[in-house]
């Protein structure tokens, strides 16, 4: 399942990196802040749906609450003096999130994003001088626990998706999640 997911979402991951355009040496604060605003408008409804669908007993006993990132995004926007988080546009073209398999495919994308987040966090610090305390908490993400939380998520997912029919849905949902976030980020600040 895990190898398949990585291979079959690779094209979307590459497209995502291009859309974010965050790794350039000429990264500007305005672009960074705009991305955080779009992320906020995506993570808010998606994390709420994930909690609804996976309920009180997520696969492998995952602690969804501890993995939520919306508060970090809000803290960053506050630190950067952006608009209040609850005035931002919210994404309505979400990936389908009705079943646990769809939710786990989506969660794969959000959890995997913490790995790239470490790289992005370092880049944002180097180019914009932002630390977790001054506007880069989201990309700092799970910090020193990143590898450990990722391993636990992978184990939960592997245990969940043993049936090939379920694995298909997980992969489809992971790709749908990448697409949905990418299109939402592409729409820019005026959307
Ligand atoms: C410029 C932006 C990004 C960079 C530089 C980046 C970089 C990385 C890196 C270095 C890894 C670890 C690869 C490994 O250890 O095998 C990774 C994994 C991953 N990233 Fe990204 N990433 C970026 C954006 C994103 C975004 C926005 C998402 C999702 C919203 C995402 C989702 C994932 C996933 C799901 C994995 C796990 C792949 C796997 O091992 O199954 N990435 N990324």
pLDDT tens-digit map of 30-50: 999 999 999 999 999 999 999
Q: What is the pLDDT of residues 96-155, one digit of tens each?
A: 999 999 999 999 999 999 999 999 999 999 999 999 999 999 999 898 999 999 999 999
Number of other residues whose CB lies within 10 A of the CB of residue 128:
18
- CATH fourth-level superfamily of 2-186: Heme oxygenase-like (1.20.910.10)
Burial 74-95 (b: 16+ CB within 10 A, else e): bbbbebbebeebeebeebeebb
| Residue of 116, 139, 158 to mutate, ligand 1, most atoms within 8 A of C-beta | 116
SS3 content of the chain, % helix, strand, coil (to 5): 75, 0, 25
The confidence score (pLDDT) of residue 190 equals 43
The confidence score (pLDDT) of residue 15 equals 97
Ligand 1 mean position, distance from CA 178 (Å): 11
State pTM to two decimals: 0.95
The confidence score (pLDDT) of residue 55 equals 87
Q: Is 119 in the pocket of ligand 1 (CB under 6 A)?
A: yes
Q: What is the DSSP letter of 187?
A: T
What is the percent of the chain with per-residue pLDDT over 90, rounded to a whole number?
90
Number of other residues whose CB lies within 10 A of the CB of residue 183:
12
Q: Is 181 in the pocket of ligand 1 (CB under 6 A)?
A: yes
Please identify, by atom number, the ligand 1 atom nearest to the C-alpha of residue 5: 41
Nearest partner of 38 among 87, 88, 94, 111, judged by Cα: 88
Q: Is 8 in the pocket of ligand 1 (CB under 6 A)?
A: no
Ligand 1 mean position, distance from CA 62 (Å): 20
Ligand 1 mean position, distance from CA 16 (Å): 9
Instruction: Work out the angle between the directed axes of helices 29-54 and 164-186 (0-180°, nearest 10).
Output: 150
Please identify, by atom number, the ligand 1 atom nearest to the C-alpha of residue 177: 30
């Amino acid at each position: 399942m895990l190898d398949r997911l990585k291979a079959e979402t690779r094209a979307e991951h590459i497209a995502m990196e291009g859309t974010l355009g965050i790794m350039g040496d000429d990264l500007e604060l305005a672009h960074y802040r705009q991305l955080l605003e779009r992320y906020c408008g995506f993570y808010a409804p998606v994390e709420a749906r994930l909690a609804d669908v996976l309920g009180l007993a997520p696969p492998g006993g995952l602690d969804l609450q501890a993995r939520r990132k919306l508060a970090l995004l809000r803290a960053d926007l506050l630190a950067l003096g952006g608009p209040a988080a609850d005035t931002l546009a919210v994404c309505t073209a979400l990936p389908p999130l009705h079943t646990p398999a769809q939710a786990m495919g989506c969660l794969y994308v959000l959890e995997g994003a913490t790995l790239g987040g470490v790289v992005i966090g370092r880049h944002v610090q180097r180019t914009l001088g932002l630390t977790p305390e001054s506007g880069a908490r989201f990309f700092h993400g799970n910090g020193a626990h990143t590898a450990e939380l990722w391993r636990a998520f992978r184990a939960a997912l592997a245990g969940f998706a043993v049936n090939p029919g379920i694995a298909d849905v997980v992969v489809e949902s992971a790709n749908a999640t990448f697409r949905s976030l990418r299109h939402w980020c592409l729409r820019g600040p005026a959307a």
